[in-house]
């Protein structure tokens, strides 16, 4: 995506496709009386595999989705979690029962980090009715709702993937946006400053990027802050609906969480899917360290 394209063209205004991106437990219980596909997207960088948590207990009817296998392509120069191929993603969602016209609700443990990647990927591939369970599995448990260890029976879906439903950035677009708009770095401040880099071969950040850790999007319970507080937070960082905004992280997972928070706040934004793992892959792109973009 070119920096000149105004992101408002994406039609993101806090409600995607007419469906608010978040749902609470009480509302989900009401929705479950109808036609809903539940996707369990529990995942942690470095493990243990999310399927283990799913087998210990999950929402009744939920189907496990593997972030590494189903929501990303193989790692390589495009990043550690590049976009999945259209056909592969479509097949995975059909196996999970996703339909073109049905509501999909995704959840993870609590803070929506991996659930947001599922939300974003489904929206990118054209699904119009996707919501994230705010507070995830923990919120469901705290509300006293039942869980099960039984594998869910799935009726294959008919979802047809159409890429391009949400805006994306490539390395050149990210570099341009950091100069002409606002590029948010969703990683921890110490990784942004280049003090530590536990995963990728080079430490630092994209020149001109602004530090905006995703931990600032949620409260201690993992639920998203109210929309007005998110708007205030992003406005302090220069990210409003009056400028072009994008986000990146290490590999496009926590940055999807940033896009979700921005969407709740009513700020259209593009995702640099390859993120830092793609930026440093060829060794020629500039790297900045220090706290120039710390709020």
The torsion of the CA quartet 218, 221, 222, 228, rounded to 10 degrees, works out to -30
- The reply to whether 288 belongs to the active site is no
CA gap 85, 233 in Å, rounded? 34
Q: Which of 19, 21, 157, 151 is closest to 89 using CA atoms?
A: 157
Catalytic residue among 10, 209, 249, 265: 249
CA triple 85-93-146, angle to 5 deg: 145
What residues contact 203, with CB distance under 8 A and at least 6 apart? 191, 194, 195, 196, 197, 287, 289
- Other C-beta atoms within 10 Å of 36: how many? 17
Q: What does each of the 295 residues of the chain score in pLDDT, given as a tens digit?
A: 333 332 333 333 333 446 899 999 999 999 998 889 999 999 998 888 999 999 999 999 999 999 999 999 999 999 999 999 999 999 999 999 999 999 999 999 999 999 999 999 999 999 999 999 999 999 999 999 999 999 899 999 999 999 999 999 999 999 999 999 999 999 999 999 999 999 999 999 999 999 999 999 999 999 999 999 999 999 999 999 999 999 999 999 999 999 999 999 999 999 999 999 999 998 999 999 998 766 5
Tell whether pTM > 0.85.
Answer: yes
What residues contact 20, with CB distance under 8 A and at least 6 apart? 14, 131
What residues contact 287, with CB distance under 8 A and at least 6 apart? 194, 202, 203, 204, 205, 206, 207, 280
CA gap 55, 51 in Å, rounded? 6
Strands, E assignment, the chain: 22-23, 36-40, 63-64, 103-107, 130-133, 182-185, 210-211, 245-248, 270-271
> What are the structural domains, with CATH classification, of the chain?
7-142 (3.40.250.10), 171-279 (3.40.250.10)
CA gap 54, 114 in Å, rounded? 14
């Amino acid at each position: 995506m070119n920096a000149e394209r105004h992101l408002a063209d994406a039609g993101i205004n806090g409600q995607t496709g007419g469906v608010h991106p978040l749902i609470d437990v009480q509302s989900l219980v009401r929705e479950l009386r109808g036609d809903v596909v539940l996707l369990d997207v529990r995942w942690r960088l470095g493990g243990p595999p999310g399927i283990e948590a799913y087998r210990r207990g999950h929402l009744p009817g939920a189907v496990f989705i593997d972030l590494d296998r189903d929501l990303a392509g193989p790692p390589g120069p495009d990043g550690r979690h590049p976009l999945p191929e259209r056909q592969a993603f479509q097949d995975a969602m059909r196996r999970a029962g996703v339909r073109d016209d049905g509501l999909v609700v995704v959840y993870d443990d609590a803070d929506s980090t991996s659930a947001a990647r599922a939300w974003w990927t489904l929206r990118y591939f054209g699904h119009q009715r996707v919501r994230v369970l705010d507070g995830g599995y923990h919120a469901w448990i705290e509300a006293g709702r039942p869980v099960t260890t039984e594998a869910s029976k799935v009726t294959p879906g008919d979802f047809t993937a159409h890429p391009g439903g949400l805006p994306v950035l490539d390395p050149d677009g990210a570099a341009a946006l950091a100069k002409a708009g606002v590029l948010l770095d969703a990683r921890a401040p110490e990784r942004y400053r280049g003090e530590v880099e536990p995963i990728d071969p080079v430490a630092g950040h994209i020149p001109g990027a602004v530090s905006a850790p995703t931990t600032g999007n949620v409260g201690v319970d993992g639920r998203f802050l109210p929309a007005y507080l998110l708007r205030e937070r992003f406005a302090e960082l220069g990210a409003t609906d009056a400028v072009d905004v994008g986000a990146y992280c290490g590999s496009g997972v926590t940055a999807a969480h940033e896009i979700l928070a921005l969407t709740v706040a009513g700020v259209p934004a593009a995702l640099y899917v390859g993120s830092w793992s793609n930026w440093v892959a060829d060794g020629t792109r500039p790297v900045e360290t220090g706290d120039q973009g710390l709020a």
